[in-house]
């Protein structure tokens, strides 16, 4: 079984670090120094790197870490990310420390985005980069609302007890927006209370679960009447599909 650590980087990034026996895997190491400090304290070396997409705060540490360790680097296979040794495509399976992972294309935030799922010891794990956040989703820098809706629908269909490991501590700000979209959501109100308590103590709010996100995340709830009503009020027009609802509330969130 993996032991999982959240290494804090920059202002709000998490570099998820998986340890099994003496093998270490890091996901989206934007800052190599954070990883090196951790490895030094644990007296371990790095075995694998997994990359979700090309943004620098997810890839910036690849080359420094590769110079120091003979590690594999799994990631999007288009050849645009320097340092990838094992290009990964949609639905491709690969193994980390003997555990099977499968990659899903999840465009929206970027066009190259991959999310990684492992049905690990009956405790499914999802590493979703900047596609799905707790209470939110990634900004649409390259993709379309339709692409993001399809990506989120793919993740929402995973087992409900799947643990969701996002790459940013955005939960508190996401929930401030979510309650504007869905002010009568009781589960959301309860989650806001618990998250506010955690953040007061500077504690992390992750991982989440698919089950919880289906209850509180407006971007996974684009067919709910209250979400549709709020999206239509913001856009000033009738919306005919869940992806149009998502596009409206994503635009709203960008300007919130």
| Domain CATH code at residue 199 | 3.60.15.10
- Give pLDDT, residue 122: 81
149 is catalytic: no
Whether the full predicted model's pTM is greater than 0.95, yes or no, is: yes
Report yes or no on 149 lying in a domain. yes
80 is catalytic: no
Among 31, 54, 58, 120, the one annotated catalytic: 58
Mean per-residue pLDDT, 176-201:
98
Q: In this structure, are residues 132 and 177 in contact, taking their beta carbons and an 8 Å threshold?
A: no
130 is catalytic: yes
Among 55, 113, 120, 149, the one annotated catalytic: 55
Domain that holds residue 177: 3-217
Report yes or no on 16 lying in a domain. yes
How far is residue 51's CA from residue 221's CA, in Å, rounded to a whole number? 28
Q: What is the pLDDT of residues 135-177, one digit of tens each?
A: 999 999 999 999 999 999 999 999 999 999 999 999 999 999 9
Among 31, 53, 54, 149, the one annotated catalytic: 53
58 is catalytic: yes
Q: What is the pLDDT of residues 108-117, one digit of tens each?
A: 999 999 999 9
How far is residue 56's CA from residue 77's CA, in Å, rounded to a whole number? 17
Mean per-residue pLDDT, 201-221:
98
57 is catalytic: yes
Report yes or no on 251 lying in a domain. no
- Give pLDDT, residue 1: 83
Instruction: Centre a 10 Å sphere on the Cβ of residue 104 and count the other Cβ atoms it contains.
Output: 19
Residue 121 pLDDT class (50, 70, 90 cuts): low
113 is catalytic: no
Q: Is the bond preceding 207 in cis, omega lying within 30 degrees of 0?
A: yes
- Give pLDDT, residue 211: 98
């Amino acid at each position: 079984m993996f032991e999982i650590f959240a290494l804090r980087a920059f202002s709000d990034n998490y570099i998820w670090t998986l340890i099994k026996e003496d093998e270490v895997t890091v996901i989206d190491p934007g800052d190599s120094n954070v990883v090196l400090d951790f490895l030094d304290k644990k007296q371990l070396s790095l075995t694998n790197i997994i990359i979700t997409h090309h943004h620098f705060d997810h890839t910036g540490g690849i080359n420094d870490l590769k110079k120091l360790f003979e590690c594999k680097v799994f990631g999007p296979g288009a050849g645009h990310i320097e340092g990838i040794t094992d290009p990964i495509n949609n639905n491709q399976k690969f193994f980390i420390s003997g555990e099977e992972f499968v990659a899903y294309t999840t465009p929206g935030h970027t066009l190259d985005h991959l999310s990684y799922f492992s049905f690990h010891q009956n405790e499914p794990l999802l590493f979703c980069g900047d596609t799905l956040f707790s209470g939110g989703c990634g900004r649409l820098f390259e993709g379309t609302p339709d692409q993001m809706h399809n990506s989120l629908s793919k993740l929402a269909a995973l087992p409900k007890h799947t643990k969701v490991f996002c790459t940013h501590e955005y939960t508190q700000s996401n929930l401030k927006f979510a309650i504007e979209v869905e002010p009568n959501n009781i589960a959301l109100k309860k989650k806001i209370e618990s998250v506010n308590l955690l953040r007061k103590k500077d504690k992390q709010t992750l991982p989440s679960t698919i089950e919880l996100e289906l209850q509180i995340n407006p971007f996974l709830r684009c067919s709910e009447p209250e979400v549709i009503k709020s999206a239509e009020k913001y856009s000033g027009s009738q919306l005919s599909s869940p992806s149009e609802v998502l596009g409206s509330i994503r635009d709203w969130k960008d300007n919130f």
